[in-house]
Amino acid sequence: MKQRNPEIDMNDVVISIRDLYKSFGSNHVLRGINLDVHKGENVVVLGRSGTGKSVLIKIIVGLLYPDAGTVNVLGKDVSALTEADLRELRMQVGFSFQSAALYDSMTVGENLAFPLRRNNKQISNDQVRRMVDIVLDAVGLSQAINQLPAELSGGQRKRIGIARTLILKPQIMLYDEPTAGLDPITCIEINNLINEVQRRFNTSSIIITHDLTCAKETGDSIAVMQEGQFVAQGSFDDVFRKENDLIQSFYQYNFIQ
């Protein structure tokens, strides 16, 4: 199990969510979510598929708007930001997609350089190359620089997806199902990478997952989501001591006990 990061600053809340509601038609996805993420903390949101976990992080980054409630990221109310301010904020927040969402027509190197060049018109080619090398080294895929996304395995694609977010040096990382669809060994590698990113780049993170091993290995704290609400929040041990059917069934169906 992961040791709690000693660098966590409990007085510095980087993400604060209060009474968050979101519906799609008659489907009430989020029903009053409250969550604080402190500086340097990895918070795992654990829950079954379709419980609104991904919707939650899409609201945090402004891809979706809430029906009610507030989301403060680095002291800014996301729903109230102008387009330009939202773009500014997004440079501080890295988002790793479940599918990695790499640009098919670009090589790995171009995928990584793209956000950097777009957000910094003055940057030289040498600087871009150096940054690309640094993040590729951080995810352990320096040799893949000239490959196309279609030539990569699922695990490699996820790593490059993480590298693409790291290149903008974000303060916050949002991981959407980082281990979904990967073999157990690659899952361990991704879990280690998430912890390495936290240590090396001093990021705060929300990790969305239904993988208990991932939750155990990467989370400083865990929030369990059921039907759009958190039914338990706290450390891994605290949460899994609770008498809740969902939590117990998660435990029963995983082989890590």
Partner 1 sequence: MDSSNGQPEKPVISPGVDRFFINVHTTFLFVARFFRELFRFPFETREFIRQCYMVGYKSLALISLTGFITGLVFTKQSRPSLSEFGATSWLPSLIAIAVIRALAPLVTALICAGKVGSSIGAELGSMRVTEQIDAMEVSAINPFKYLVVTRVLATTVCLPILMAYTALVGLLGSYLDVHVNEQTSITFFFLKAFSDITFLDLFASTFKAMAYGFTIGIVSCYQGYNASQGTQGVGKAANISVVISMFLIFIEEVIIVQVVNSIR
Which residues contribute to the site for partner 1 (CB under 8 A)? 23, 25-26, 28, 58, 61-63, 67, 87-88, 90-91, 93-95, 97, 99, 101-104, 114-115, 118-119, 121, 164-165, 168
Instruction: Work out how close the CB of 166 gets to partner 1 at its nearest, in angstroms, rounded to a whole number.
Output: 11
- C-beta of 115 vs 234, nearer to partner 1: 115
How far from chain centre, in Å, is Cα 188? 16
- Burial of 176-203, coded b for 16+ CB within 10 Å and e otherwise, reads bbbbbebeeebbebbbebbbebbeeeeb
Instruction: Work out how close the CB of 122 gets to partner 1 at its nearest, in angstroms, rounded to a whole number.
Output: 12
Instruction: Work out how close the CB of 110 gets to partner 1 at its nearest, in angstroms, rounded to a whole number.
Output: 13
Q: Beta strands of 124-191 (E only): which ranges?
A: 172-176
Instruction: Work out how close the CB of 114 gets to partner 1 at its nearest, in angstroms, rounded to a whole number.
Output: 8
**Is 236 within 8 Å of 215 (Cβ atoms)?**
yes
- C-beta of 74 vs 188, nearer to partner 1: 74
- C-beta of 87 vs 241, nearer to partner 1: 87
**Is 20 within 8 Å of 238 (Cβ atoms)?**
no
Instruction: Give the span between the Cα atoms of 225 and 169, in whole angstroms.
Output: 29
- C-beta of 5 vs 79, nearer to partner 1: 79
